[in-house]
Structure 1
Amino acid sequence: MDAITFLTNDHKVVRAMLEELAATTKRAVKRRTELLQKIAAELEAHTQIEEEIFYPAFKEAGEKSDDDKMFFEAMEEHRTAGDLVLPDLLQTEVGSDQFSGRAKVLKELIDHHAKEEEKEMFPRARKLLGKAELNELGERLAARKAELI
């Protein structure tokens, strides 16, 4: 599986879990807790494999200043979600009103980030990297994620 297909599939999994989390009520304490742990593990692994493998390959292949902008924006979105919003949500009481609001913010951030990657970065990566390199990157992403999860 190529890198773009692999990462897009990851996006679908996380988005579905975030959607389910956003649809829960304050009474669903156990389900919220389970979902949040799964989401955190998936996001941490996904972020790490993108930053270790995919983003460096994209940056190295980049030819324009727009490619650099995409790279740095994606890194900043990872930092915002992974270092600020997710840790805050993990420390929030799952049965609280604050949890619902923070879960929605995380969902919106991730959705925005995934859409940008899928509409801008991934099509550009297809042009820059080529089929063989994307397949090799896909294998590396899958192997590294298996190590992390």
Structure 2
Amino acid sequence: MSNAYDVLRGHHDVLRGLGSRFKAAPVGSAGRQEILDELLHEFTIHMRIEDDIYYPALAEASRLIAIAHAEHRQIYDQLAVALRTPAGSPHHVDEWNCFITVLEAHADEEERDLVPPPAPVDLTDAELENLGQRMLAEMARQRNSKWERLHVKARTALLKAF
């Protein structure tokens, strides 16, 4: 699976699966926190491969990419709200479910609008393969990087604090 479209769809499925596992885990449990840590790490990886690799390759679809970037900000905004909602709050589960819903809606819209992108973008099979390889390499680099894990934890702490 190294075609860029397959990489994105596959990673969307990873995020959806983590979202389902997170929603099913007991609130306040260590297991739920572990799933959240993994979800936030994979979410950060996903935003990076899209913003740094996939979207630049689709520069001709600039209006749709601008919308996708706005959706990324919306996801981060909802994440910040969820992180600031204490586990004992009656709104805790609702805020986290809203985060998962916004994340999944973005994946669905992206698959509908940008995988594949509309004309005039026309990537060859070789370009898609190269793009997919670059995305997979970046995903692996980030998954194996202690620095990236610390970066995600720091970003999470900042979102929670402000």
Query: What is the one-letter code of the residue matched to 2:90?
Result: D
- Structure 1 residue 94 displacement after superposition: 4.0
- For structure 2, which runs of at least 5 residues remain unmatched after alignment? 144-162
Distance 1:52 1:94 in 2: 34
| Aligned residue runs from structure 1 range 21-100, under 5 A | 21-26=22-27, 29-59=29-59, 62=60, 67-82=61-76, 84-94=77-87, 96-100=89-93
- How many residues end up aligned between the 2 structures? 141
| Structure 1 range deviating more: 90-99 or 35-44 | 90-99
Query: 1:11 maps to what in 2?
Result: 12
Relative CO higher for 1 or 2, CA cutoff 8 Å, sep ≥ 6?
1
Q: Give TM-score, length-normalised by structure 1.
A: 0.85
Identity of matched residues, %: 29
Higher helix fraction: Structure 1 or Structure 2? 1
Distance 2:70 2:36 in 1: 22
Secondary structure (helix, strand or coil) at the match of 1:129 reads coil
| Aligned residue runs from structure 1 range 101-120, under 5 A | 101-120=94-113
**What is the RMSD computed on CA atoms of the aligned residues?**
1.9
| Structure 1 range deviating more: 37-46 or 101-110 | 101-110
- For structure 1, which runs of at least 5 residues remain unmatched after alignment? none
Q: Deviations over 1:78-123 (max 9, x none)?
A: 11213x1223333443454333111111111111111111112112
The runs of 4+ residues in structure 1 deviating greater than 6 Å are: none
Distance 1:43 1:57 in 2: 20
Query: 2:126 maps to what in 1?
Result: 132
| Structure 1 range deviating more: 96-105 or 106-115 | 96-105
Q: Give TM-score, length-normalised by structure 2.
A: 0.79
Distance 1:135 1:88 in 2: 38
